[in-house]
Amino acid sequence: MKNLIKPVLLASLVATAFSAQAADDAAVAAAAPVSPHTVTANIGLFTDYTFRGISYSKENGAVQGGFDYAHSSGLYAGVWATNVDKNALYTNTVELDIYGGYASSFGDTGIGYNVGFLQFFYPDAERAGSTPGVKGVGGSPNTTELNAALSYKYFTLKHSVAVTNFFGVNNRLGGNGNSRGTGYTELNVAYKLPVADLNLALHVGYQNVHNYSVADYTDWLVGVNKDFSIAGSTGWNAGLNYTTTNADDAWYVDAKGWETGDDRVIGYIKRTF
């Protein structure tokens, strides 16, 4: 009996010691301050790069990704990039977006707001109107927009306004003056469906190009997507979107005559981590 008591007593002491250490570790973790900084990255494969209903990769696929920073105060910033088809956007092949702003809410009303900026940058630096072998007469496609949004439950209403010429459209290119002041108003709905954990996405937007009413149009989108994990890795999302516009086919056409505003189905898979 003496030989049995000693090992049992030793095991009990060891277990007590480990339990005490675990409790201490948990207390330290609970007491540690939560960082006000959050950094995430995202990468995705898309069958098409569509911006406001207009195709910029000619349905040849797009690889898109970026990095986002958010502070607990509501400030945020990010960078995002995608490939574009050279015939769709003045022979440019890469788009780089830089954005930032501030997001918060109006007390306990459930109404959120967001104010920010978005800078479209094209490193190839080809001017508006450029086609393969021909230099464009317009301005730089690099465009700066300011935006503001209100959100409530599933709904987000947003307006963006260009403080530069809109993708290089100026008097030399279009003949009706500059396009500063171009605006885009959109309503987005994100709703969790009671079926298979699917998310419903709805969108309608109106693009108004200052001094160029021929370029005004409305775009619509309806889609479903699903969040999931793969072998324990979380942050995955895949979906299908159908989008269409009433854009003027004579204006929204690429260098080879392909109509960029026509309807299409877009599939994608992406991950945020």
- Whether 24 and 89 share a structural domain: no
- pLDDT surpasses 50 at 12: no
Query: How far apart, in whole angstroms, are the C-alpha atoms of residue 117 and residue 102?
Result: 10
pLDDT digits (tens, 9 = 90+) for 85-98: 999 999 999 999 99
Q: With cut-offs at 50, 70 and 90, classify the pLDDT of residue 10.
A: very low
**CATH number of the domain where residue 193 is located:** 2.40.160.40
Say if residue 11 is in the same domain as residue 83.
no
Based on the fold, state whether residues 148 and 21 are members of the same structural domain. Answer: no
Indicate if 106 and 12 belong to the same structural domain. Answer: no
Q: Give yes or no for a contact between 78 and 66, defined as CB atoms under 8 angstroms apart.
A: yes
Q: Do 21 and 132 reside in the same domain of the chain? A: no
SS3 readout for the chain: CHHHHHHHHHHHHHHHHHHHHHHHHHHHHHHCCCCCEEEEEEEEEECCCEECCEECCCCCCEEEEEEEEEECCCEEEEEEEEECCCCCCCCCCEEEEEEEEEEEECCCCCEEEEEEEEEEECCCCCCCCCECCECCCCCCCCEEEEEEEEEECCEEEEEEEECCCHHHCCHHHHCCCCCCCCEEEEEEEEEECCCCCEEEEEEEEEEECCCCHHHCEEEEEEEEEEEEEECCEEEEEEEEEEEEECCCCCCCECCCCCECCCCEEEEEEEEEC
pLDDT band at 125 (very low <50, low <70, confident <90, very high): confident
Range of the domain at 22: 1-32
Q: Do residues 168 and 206 both lie within one domain? A: yes
Looking at residues 239-248, what average pLDDT do you find?
98
- Say which range, 8-17, 24-33, 131-140, 180-189, has the weakest mean pLDDT: 8-17
Q: Is the pLDDT of residue 197 over 50?
A: yes
pLDDT at 32: 63
- Report the pLDDT value the prediction gives residue 1, as an integer from 0 to 100: 40
Burial label for 69, CB within 10 Å (0-12, 13-18, 19+), is middle
> What one-letter code names the amino acid at 149?
A
Residues 46 and 19 in one domain: no
240 & 133 share domain: yes
Distance CA 153, CA 201 (A): 13
pLDDT digits (tens, 9 = 90+) for 27-75: 545 556 789 999 999 999 999 999 999 999 999 999 999 999 999 999 9
Q: Same domain, yes or no, for 175 and 235?
A: yes
Q: How much is the pLDDT for 58? A: 95
Task: Give percent of the chain with pLDDT exceeding 90.
Answer: 82
Mind listing the pLDDT tens digit for each residue in 143-187?
A: 999 999 999 999 999 999 999 999 999 999 989 999 999 999 999
pLDDT number for residue 117: 98
Q: How high is the pLDDT of residue 11?
A: 42
Same-domain check for residues 15 and 82: no
Are 89 and 11 found together in one domain?
A: no
Per-residue pLDDT, averaged over 193-210, amounts to 97
| Gap between the Cα atoms of 90 and 175, Å rounded | 18
Q: How many domains does the chain have?
A: 2
Question: Could you tell me if 71 and 128 lie in one domain?
Answer: yes
